Amino acid sequence: MVPADIEILLEQLNAADRDADLLVRGASEEQGVWQPARGAWSIAQCLDHLATANTVYLNAMSSSAKRARERGLLRRGPALPGFLGAWFVRSLEPPVRMRLPAPKAIVPRSAPSLADAYFRFQASQRDVREFLHANRDLDLASIRFPNPFIKGIRLSLATGLQVITAHERRHLWQVGRVREAVMSRVR
């Protein structure tokens, strides 16, 4: 049986998949790479950014999960972030209130194709699901990993998983705004 908190994370990943599919469906390659303003990201760039961010986060989380498994740190409670982690997760939720530049490691490629960016996003989603399934028996709330973007900050694996899903909601919201803008150009 899958614990309820893990089911919630899986449903959030499923919702991101559905949202991304709806947002790219019917968009031409030209529409997918259109940028609404200089320096603003296209639909493809948003998806590329999410794929890269998910991969970077999972890479940072994986070694901590492996060490925890070797030490037998099995689940003692739900995969929920602590107070500061929950605050960080909430700060990522749409609508976007605070815009910060993306860390250099996850800036999207300058001109990914829509098809490639969407494929990479889907692949990263599979990787997140695999990580979640493989590690759902660990005590995700107590196992820490180094934040790959802010030196000296350690987050729980539970927080990392919540960050991934909130970050996806943030940028899929952004994709929706870009899609509205590009579709209004063709009317």
pLDDT for residue 98 is more than 80 = no
pLDDT for residue 122 is more than 80 = yes
Q: Count other Cβ atoms within 10 Å, centred on residue 115.
A: 12
pLDDT for residue 186 is more than 80 = no
Q: What mean pLDDT is reported for the chain?
A: 95
- Segments of 77-165 assigned E as strands: 144-146, 154-156
What pLDDT is stored for residue 185 in this prediction? Answer: 81
Give the tens place of pLDDT for each residue, 1-55: 889 999 999 999 999 999 999 999 999 999 999 999 999 999 999 999 999 999 9
Q: What is the arithmetic mean of pLDDT over 44-67?
A: 98
Give the tens place of pLDDT for each residue, 145-156: 999 998 999 999
Q: Which residue range is the domain that position 123 belongs to?
A: 4-185
Number of structural domains, the chain? 1
pLDDT for residue 123 is more than 60 = yes
What pLDDT is stored for residue 96 in this prediction? Answer: 79
pLDDT for residue 179 is more than 60 = yes
What's the maximum distance between 2 C-alpha atoms anywhere in the chain? 60
Q: For position 69, which CATH number holds?
A: 1.20.120.450
pLDDT for residue 187 is more than 70 = no
SS3 55: helix
When pLDDT is cut at 50, 70 and 90, the band that residue 97 belongs to is: confident
Residue pointed to by tokens 């790219």? 24
Q: Which residue has the higher pLDDT, 97 or 27?
A: 27
**Dist CA 62 CA 68 (whole Å):** 10
Q: Count other Cβ atoms within 10 Å, centred on residue 5.
A: 19
Q: What is the arithmetic mean of pLDDT over 85-96?
A: 91
